[in-house]
Structure 1
Amino acid sequence: MGAKTIKVDPKTAKYGTGRRKEAVARVWIIPGNGRIVVKSSSGKEWEGKDYFERDILMAKINRPFVITETLGKFDVYATVKGSGKPAQAEAIMYGIAKALESYNPELRPVLKKAGLMTRDARVKERKKYAQMGARAKYRWSKR
């Protein structure tokens, strides 16, 4: 369950911040062999596949590496907070894309074409007054 932490050296590590819905991920990539360590808001560190149990979430996290053909060349250390695990996985994905761009600016066109340099701005719509929720109205009763 617990993961052995990755040492983040400021000289070799590249940083990127990713956001999705209410989730915020601070991501560091270090040249390595493809390990992913996630530190949750509880303060516990997890191996990536133990924290994000579903394979689709791990595939999302690895998407920037697959697109830039750098899968297995970097270790990832990420801290996440807010929202749920799917949004946190996407936040890590965006953070990795930004970190890869700072590592090698020539990767930007490839990442941009894949849509990873643009934050997904979709968030929950707020509840309106005199309504049940964002869109749903209270039922009208004649008497």
Structure 2
Amino acid sequence: MQIINAIGRRKTSIARVYVKPGKGDIKVNNRDLKEYFLSEIHQTLVKQGLVAVKAEGAYDVTVNVEGGGIKGQAEAVRLGIARALVEFNAENKPALRKEGLMTRDSRMVERKKPGRRKARRRFQFSKR
């Protein structure tokens, strides 16, 4: 039995995903998916790749995720699962790409600049 591992990143979250043929168990940081991602929206995000290739009950997924917030972690896991599914079967790639799951979202938090209160916030301007 082969285990495929892939990595997914989003903002400052990094997800290491291990996928193997099984009966549909998804474990995140040694906890059940519903226990780790309490929001229904985040659970749907994680499962999106499996739903796109109609393989919800075909694979067991184990994930180690760290950094960032819950939303960033969910999206990192989603990318990792999509990449692993393509490694399993290259025919999955067009379906996943069509859903936009193969693209790494490169948006990051802009850094704070010196002399300013926030990244873009200037001090109040007074003409007189």
Q: TM-score when scaled to structure 1?
A: 0.85
Which residue of structure 2 lines up, in the alignment, with residue 4 of structure 1? none
What letter is aligned with 1:29?
V
Unaligned 5+ runs, structure 2? none
Which residue of the other structure, out of 86, 93, 116, is the alignment partner of 1:101? Answer: 86
What is the rounded CA distance, in whole Å, between the counterparts of 1:101 and 1:113 in structure 2?
13
Task: Supply the distance in 2 between the matched residues of 1:56 and 1:72 (Cα, whole angstroms).
Answer: 19
Q: Which of 87, 103, 126 pairs up with 2:111?
A: 126
Q: CA RMSD in A?
A: 1.4
Q: Distance in 1 between matches of 2:78 and 2:5?
A: 12
**Cα distance in structure 2, aligned partners of 1:117 and 1:29:** 16
Distance 1:142 1:107 in 2: 60
Distance in 2 separating the partners of 1:129 and 1:142: 23
Q: Tell me if 1:37 matches 2:27.
A: yes
Amino acid at match of 2:77: I
Letter in 1 for 2:40: D
Does 132-141 or 59-68 show the bigger shift? 132-141
Return 5+ residue gaps in structure 1 as ranges: 1-10, 40-44
Residues 129-140 of structure 1: pairs in structure 2 closer than 5 A = 129-140=114-125
Structure 2 counterpart of 1:108, one-letter code: K
| Structure 2 counterpart of 1:136, one-letter code | R
Which residue is 2:63 aligned to?
78
2:32 to 31, 35, 47: 47
Q: Distance in 1 between matches of 2:70 and 2:22?
A: 25
TM-score after normalising by structure 2: 0.94
Letter of the 1:37 partner, please give it.
K
How many residues are matched? 128
Q: Tell me which amino acid in the other structure corresponds to 2:7.
A: T
Report whether the alignment pairs 1:61 with 2:51. Answer: no
Q: CA deviation at 1:139?
A: 2.9
Match of 2:74 in 1: 89
- One-letter amino acid of the counterpart of residue 89, structure 2: N
What percentage of residue pairs aligned between the two structures are identical?
A: 41
